Amino acid sequence: MADTTQSITRLVGDRIAEFRRSRKWSQAELACRLQVAPQTIRRLECGTSTPSLQMLENLAAALDVSISDLIVERPAALDDQAVQISAWLSALEAADQTLVTGVIQQLCERMRERRDKH
């Protein structure tokens, strides 16, 4: 059981670090956004501290991801792409985010239709 807890804690720490880096934030910047000490972020990312449910909620909100994004491992290539797209979108105003996601959705639908014809 201890090994499972350690591996989950390590996974969560890795995910926090990935999302933080994708936003080009330092540990200190994320700590400031969460109103915690930078050492707290360091311990979470290193897997030496297990986040509480409240901390997971706060991290997810600060990083603009879901809690499941923090606790579930995903294929690296798809995850990297999703994180990058999310970071790009987060820098836009809401109306522009809607426009960009609509364009992406239309492109994907068109490409699926083209693929299905062949």
Task: Verify that 63 and 86 share a domain, yes or no.
Answer: no
Q: Mean pLDDT in the chain?
A: 89
Task: Verify that 50 and 108 share a domain, yes or no.
Answer: no
Task: Verify that 8 and 59 share a domain, yes or no.
Answer: yes
Q: What is the pLDDT of residues 74-112, one digit of tens each?
A: 666 666 788 788 888 988 999 999 999 999 999 989 998
Quote the pLDDT of residue 32.
Answer: 97
Quote the pLDDT of residue 98.
Answer: 94
Quote the pLDDT of residue 6.
Answer: 76
Task: Verify that 16 and 40 share a domain, yes or no.
Answer: yes
Task: Verify that 61 and 88 share a domain, yes or no.
Answer: no
Task: Verify that 2 and 44 share a domain, yes or no.
Answer: yes
Task: Verify that 13 and 66 share a domain, yes or no.
Answer: yes
Quote the pLDDT of residue 111.
Answer: 92
Task: Verify that 39 and 63 share a domain, yes or no.
Answer: yes
Query: Which residues span the domain enclosing 84?
Result: 74-118
Section 1-25 average pLDDT: 86
Task: Verify that 64 and 13 share a domain, yes or no.
Answer: yes
Task: Verify that 10 and 21 share a domain, yes or no.
Answer: yes
What 43-49 contacts at long range (C-beta under 8 Å, 24+ apart), as own/partner pairs, is 44/12, 44/13, 44/16, 45/13, 45/14, 45/16, 45/17, 45/20, 46/13, 47/6, 47/9, 47/10, 47/12, 47/13, 47/14, 49/9
